[in-house]
Amino acid sequence: MGDPAAPASRPPAVCLVSGGMDSAVVLAEAREQGFAPHALSFRYGQRHAVELEAAARVAEALGAVEHRTVTVDLSALGGSALTDAMEVPKDRSRDVIGEGVPVTYVPARNAVFLAVALGWAEVLGSTDLFVGVNAVDYSGYPDCRPAFLRAFETLATLATAAGAEEGAAFRVHAPLMELSKAGIVLRGRELEVDFGLTHTCYDPVPGPDGRVLACGRCDACHLRLDGFREAGFEDPVPYA
């Protein structure tokens, strides 16, 4: 009571938590910046259940007020290796990964996820959304660019009762935007994020002891491993 660090006195924020390393650092940032983070994950099409388990672990470990998972069945629309049965590309060079729109791009995914987050923010009386988009992603994904996030803030303010009637201005926080993967690793370590709880791989395989192993060869694994290597730390998750 009256303690400025107590959760009840902190403004609520909605944080998109995928189970990956980026959104884990974002959740820790939201807490560090004084918000009471509410973690939001998505079940979409054939998305790996292992990611949602990681999201639940991350939300719990990093002190989210609550964690909700919303089903958005984007697989009904087709168009991506993550929701279709298309093959996930392996062992592509970093130059290729950074070129054009990746095959793993899900059409308008961030627009959909942010719109759902906005709906929850309205229910919570929150005007702050946190997302884990960053510079490495935004070389390939159109919906990870700063201009997209600013356009979403404008839309959010116009879309909602809070914005329309009370003049609330929504803000989309993207604290990783300017960081490299190595920079995200370093910031996560400062914030005491346990990266061993996170899951990144697009194509995980079951390990001999029942643990899930990352493939180490998809684009996501390569970006993650490069990040840890450049940061000078070992990635704590197990690889095949």
Compute the least distance from the CB of residue 150 to its own copies, in Å: 9
- Of the candidates 134, 128, 93, the one whose C-alpha atom is nearest the C-alpha of residue 114 is 128
The 3-state DSSP class for residue 206 equals strand
* Binding positions for its own copies, 56-75, rule CB under 8 A: 68-74
Strand residues in 85-198 grouped as ranges (E): 128-130, 171-173
Residues 192, 190: Cα–Cα separation, whole Å: 5
Interaction between residue 17 and its own copies (CB under 8 A): no
| Contact between 52 and 68 (Cβ < 8 Å) | no
* Binding positions for its own copies, 96-155, rule CB under 8 A: 100-101, 105-112, 114-116, 118-120, 122-123, 142-143, 145, 147-148, 151-152, 154-155
Compute the least distance from the CB of residue 111 to its own copies, in Å: 4
**Which structure tokens are listed for 196?**
């061993």
Residues 173, 132: Cα–Cα separation, whole Å: 9
CB closer to its own copies out of 160 and 200: 160
* Binding positions for its own copies, 153-172, rule CB under 8 A: 154-156, 158-161, 163-165
The residues that touch its own copies, with contacts defined as CB under 8 A, are 68-74, 76-79, 100-101, 105-112, 114-116, 118-120, 122-123, 142-143, 145, 147-148, 151-152, 154-156, 158-161, 163-165
